[in-house]
C-alpha cells in the first residue's frame, strides 16, 4: 500500500496582498475564524498515524486548533528569503527590481542571500521522500502555502518554474500518494452516481 500524505495549508495571518516573505506572524482574526469554520471538514485528518507542521506560528496554531497536535518539522519551513524576509513582494520589487526579476526567472538564483527556489523544492521533497512508509500509513502536514507548492512540484517532477503557477489557498488540502521518488497527486471528491434508466 502506498503512503498517503495530506498537506493542509495553514490559515491566514494577513490579507493576501499583505503577505510577507518568510512570515512568522500568528493567525489573524480572519484566520482563526476560517479554521473554526473548516474544522468539521478537516478534523477527520487528525486520525492520521503521523501529524506534522511547519515551524511557523500560524501552521502550529492551525494544527493545534484542528486537534492534530502536530510535531514541528524544520524541513517544512518556508523558503529562506534572506534579506527580503518580512517584505512583501511589492516592497522587494521597489527596493531591488532587477534582483526580484532574476529570482523569478531563475530557480537557482539567490539574489536575496537566502535559499534558491530549486534548493527549497529539493529540501521539501527530501522531507517527503524520508517519511516512514509502514504499509500505507497516513500522514497529515500543516504547512505554509509555499511549502505545499514546493511539495507538489517535487512530487510531480514538474519544472521548477511551475511553482509560480500553483495557487494554494488557506486551509485547502492536497494529497500525494506513493513512496520515495514515486509520488502521485490524488484528488478526492464525491464520485458521480450512475443514473438509472
pLDDT in tens, 148-190: 999 999 999 999 999 999 999 999 999 999 999 899 999 875 4
- pLDDT single digits (tens) 72-122: 999 999 999 999 998 989 999 999 999 999 999 999 999 999 999 999 999
Tell me the C-alpha distance between 45 and 42, whole Å. 6
Q: What is the mean pLDDT of residues 22-29?
A: 80
pLDDT greater than 50 at residue 127: yes
Query: What percent of the chain clears pLDDT 90, i.e. is strictly above it?
Result: 76
Cβ-contact 45, 66 below 8 angstroms = yes
Pairing of strands 71-72, 3-9: unpaired
Q: Which residues contact 115 (CB under 8 A, 6 or more apart)?
A: 79, 80, 81, 82, 123
pLDDT at 25: 79
Cβ-contact 54, 147 below 8 angstroms = yes
**Closest residue by Cα to residue 42 from 195, 164, 194, 171:** 171
Amino acid at each position: 500500500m502506498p503512503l498517503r500524505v495530506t498537506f493542509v495549508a495553514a490559515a491566514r495571518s494577513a490579507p493576501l496582498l499583505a503577505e510577507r516573505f518568510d512570515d512568522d506572524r500568528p493567525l489573524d482574526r480572519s484566520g482563526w475564524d476560517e479554521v473554526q469554520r473548516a474544522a468539521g471538514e478537516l478534523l477527520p485528518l487528525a486520525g492520521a498515524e503521523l501529524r506534522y507542521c511547519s515551524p511557523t506560528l500560524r501552521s502550529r496554531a492551525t494544527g493545534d486548533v484542528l486537534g492534530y497536535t502536530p510535531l514541528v518539522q524544520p524541513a517544512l519551513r518556508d523558503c529562506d528569503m534572506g534579506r527580503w524576509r518580512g517584505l512583501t513582494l511589492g516592497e522587494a520589487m521597489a527596493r531591488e527590481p532587477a534582483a526580484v526579476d532574476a529570482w523569478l526567472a531563475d530557480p537557482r538564483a539567490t539574489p536575496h542571500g537566502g535559499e534558491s527556489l530549486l534548493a527549497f523544492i529539493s529540501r521539501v521533497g527530501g522531507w517527503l521522500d524520508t517519511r516512514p512508509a509502514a504499509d500505507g500509513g497516513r500522514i497529515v502536514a500543516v504547512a505554509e502555502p509555499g511549502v505545499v507548492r514546493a511539495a507538489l512540484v517535487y512530487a510531480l517532477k514538474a519544472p521548477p518554474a511551475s511553482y509560480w503557477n500553483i495557487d494554494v489557498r488557506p486551509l485547502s488540502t492536497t494529497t500525494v500518494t506513493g513512496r520515495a521518488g514515486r509520488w502521485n497527486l490524488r484528488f478526492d471528491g464525491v464520485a458521480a452516481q450512475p443514473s438509472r434508466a
